[in-house]
């Protein structure tokens, strides 16, 4: 919302995408949901207010890239060791990162009693790391391990 309307009620907002009006919005709306976008598309967005006098200057431009989180890593293999009690988790890259490079992987393990997961490897900036050893486990317990890939759009789904 503009800080000053010039003394005239705002009648609409114009949403500009790449220097062209994409949509005229009702003044009660403060959002717009784009549909039909192509992943990796870069957009320049601006807004103007309209009243009976005319259209305001455009807001400063914001560049936005439509992105999606990567799919789950394609595979996960686990190798347990009794002494010391540990699990080596190895995975392969996701089948699709939607044009948005994988930046790292996160590894989680439960408490061995079906309890909550704990992140044991926060792999931000480790896109080329495909294994991690989980140490300090207790022999005789059944652990569940899950791994996710991440990129600039966020953290993707898990492979178990």
What are the pLDDT digits (tens) for 68-108? 889 999 999 999 999 899 999 999 999 998 878 899 999 99
In a domain, residue 1? The reply is: no
Residue 35, domain member (yes or no) = yes
Note the pLDDT of residue 142.
93
- Do 58 and 80 reside in the same domain of the chain? no
Element (H, E) at 111: none
Same domain, 155 and 82: yes
Task: Count CB atoms within 10 A of the CB of residue 149.
Answer: 27
* pTM over the 0.75 mark: no
- Same structural domain, 93 and 25: no
Please tell me whether residues 20 and 89 are part of one structural domain: no
Q: Domain for residue 100, yes or no?
A: yes
Provide the residue range defining the domain that includes 123. 76-159
Domain membership of residue 91 (yes or no) is yes
In whole angstroms, give the CA distance from residue 134 to residue 120.
7
Residue 153 lies in a domain: yes
pLDDT at res. 76: 97
Structural domains in the chain (count):
2
Residue 2 lies in a domain: no
Return the pLDDT at 14: 95
**Are 47 and 100 found together in one domain?**
no
Unique residue bearing structure tokens 């309209």: 50
CATH code of the domain in which 98 resides: 2.60.40.10
Whether residue 37 sits in one domain with residue 90: no
**153 and 91 inside one domain:** yes
In degrees and rounded to multiples of 5, residue 80 shows phi and psi of -95, 150
pLDDT in tens, the chain (160 residues): 666 677 899 999 999 999 999 999 999 888 888 877 776 678 899 999 999 999 999 999 988 777 788 999 999 999 999 989 999 999 999 999 887 889 999 999 999 988 899 999 998 777 889 999 999 999 999 999 999 999 988 899 999 9
CA distance 116 to 150: 21
* 7, part of any domain: no
97 and 45 co-located in one domain: no
Nearest to 89 by CA among 109, 118, 67, 111: 109
């Amino acid at each position: 919302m503009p800080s000053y309307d010039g003394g005239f009620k705002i009648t609409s907002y114009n949403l500009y995408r790449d220097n062209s009006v994409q949509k005229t919005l009702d003044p009660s709306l403060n959002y717009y949901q784009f549909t039909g976008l192509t992943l990796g598309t870069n957009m320049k967005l601006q807004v103007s207010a309209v009243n009976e006098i005319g259209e305001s200057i455009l807001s400063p431009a914001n560049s936005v890239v439509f992105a999606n989180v990567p799919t789950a890593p394609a595979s996960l293999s686990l190798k347990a060791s009794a002494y010391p009690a540990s699990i080596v988790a190895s995975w392969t890259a996701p089948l699709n990162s939607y044009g948005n490079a994988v930046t790292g992987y996160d590894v989680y393990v439960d408490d061995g009693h079906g309890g909550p997961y704990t992140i044991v490897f926060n792999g931000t900036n480790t896109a080329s790391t495909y294994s991690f050893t989980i140490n300090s486990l207790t022999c005789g317990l059944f652990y569940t391990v899950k791994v996710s890939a991440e990129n600039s759009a966020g953290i993707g789904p898990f492979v178990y």
